[in-house]
Amino acid sequence: MTTDTVSADAPLYIVLNAGSGAAEKEARKAAIEEVLSAAGRRYHLHLVEDGGELDKAATAHAGQACANGGILVAAGGDGTINTVAREAVRHGCPFGALPQGTFNYFGRTHGIPEDLSEAVHALVDATIVPVQIGSVNGRIFLVNASIGLYPKLLEEREQDKRQYGRSRVVAFLSALKTIFLPHRRLNLTLEAEDRTLHLRTHTLFVGNNRLQMEQVGLTEQAPDVAEGELAAVAPKPAGKLGMLGILFNGVLGRLGDTDDVVAFGFRRMTVRTPFYGRRRIKAAVDGEVLTLTTPLHFEALDGRLRLLVPAQRRESGV
């Protein structure tokens, strides 16, 4: 694994998603400023109050980081981290993450602390490591991308959260509701290097590297998912109760207990759907629901993201 040393003079261009509450926003801002000021590190902190301005802020600060030999940093959940990382990849500048979401899959994958102060300390003492990302139709993802039931679940969950508030109970009940709503099965043709598969499924999930398989309990089902590959997972059609079982097993990390799950690794894959006058399909990309044009082209992009990895994680060789 190739690493680059981070210059102590490299300025940090931090894009901080304000989050939901004023007190929380100020606490996060203060925590970042306290650690960096104590370390004598140059930084520019941009607080994004409106989520609609995140793309614009990420683009502007990536340009500044690139022009001034700096590092682009995202502070927020997986969606925020994806948006800012996308600009880091496009501009070719190093990228740091301060995970502040509910699940923080990306941060946990790379050993970045969930405590904000600890994450900033780790950022100051980090090394740049090229890491793998995935892409679907040119749109990068750090954690996963999916089509079918999961994008619908995300849309329903956001609507329910706006109506009933943000909590894990609301998210769970929303997921149960979505499972029992009518939804069509996908007829897919998967063309991945040396294999072509025709299948019907409620959802196709593509995870970025083997860790995604381990998190849902599919390691034994897909032993051929190698370093440098993405992981494709598609449960075969099931009834409402069967889908409920799949949901629970996935949450508990025991998806391997579910019968009839297609799972394999690949570097490039094309996903085709029958053409019935429509060629657009909804996809969830790191938690953001997008509309993409079929066929879908997935690809593992090895070493494309120049990520600041904590020293402890680097020394462990993980």
What is the topology classification, in CATH, of domain 144-285?
Answer: Tumour Suppressor Smad4 (2.60.200)
Please count the helices (runs of H) and the strands (runs of E) in the chain. Answer: 10, 17
Please tell me the predicted confidence (pLDDT) of residue 180.
60
Which of 3.30.420.40, 3.30.420.250, 3.40.50.10330, 3.30.420.480 is the CATH number of 4-133+304-316?
3.40.50.10330
* 145 contact partners, CB below 8 Å, separation of at least 6: 134, 136, 139, 205, 206, 283, 284, 285, 286, 298
Distance of CA 92 to the CA centre of its chain: 19
Contact indicator for 214, 265 with CB cutoff of 8 Å: no
Q: How far is CA 158 from CA 18, 22, 164, 288, 318, in A?
A: 18, 21, 10, 11, 35
Put residue 111 in one of left, alpha, beta given phi > 0 → left and psi -120 to 50 → alpha.
left
Helix 149-164, helix 168-180: angle, nearest 10: 130
Q: What is the pLDDT of residues 56-70, one digit of tens each?
A: 999 999 999 999 999
- Taking residues 79-96, what's their average pLDDT? 95
All CATH 2.60.200.40 domain ranges in the chain, comma separated: 144-285
CA angle (5 as vertex; 2, 7 as ends), nearest 5: 155
- Residue pair 49/76 in contact (Cβ under 8 Å)? The answer is no
List beta partners, residue 280. Answer: 293
Q: Which alpha helices (DSSP H) does 39-167 contain, by range?
A: 54-67, 78-91, 105-109, 116-124, 149-164
Angle at which helices 116-124 and 22-38 pack, to 10 degrees?
Answer: 30
Show Cβ contacts of residue 80 under 8 Å, excluding neighbours closer than 6 positions: 15, 17, 54, 74, 100, 101
Tens of pLDDT, residue by residue over 205-239, are 898 855 555 655 555 555 556 778 898 988 876 55
Please say if the pLDDT value at position 54 is more than 60: yes
Quote the CA–CA distance of 313 and 182 in Å, as a whole number: 45
The CATH 3.40.50.10330 portion of the chain extends over 4-133+304-316
Q: How many CB atoms lie within 10 A of CB 208?
A: 26
Tokens, residue 182 = 């009518």
Residue with tokens 């598609």: 234
Q: State pTM to two decimals.
A: 0.83
| Percent share of the chain, pLDDT over 90 | 48
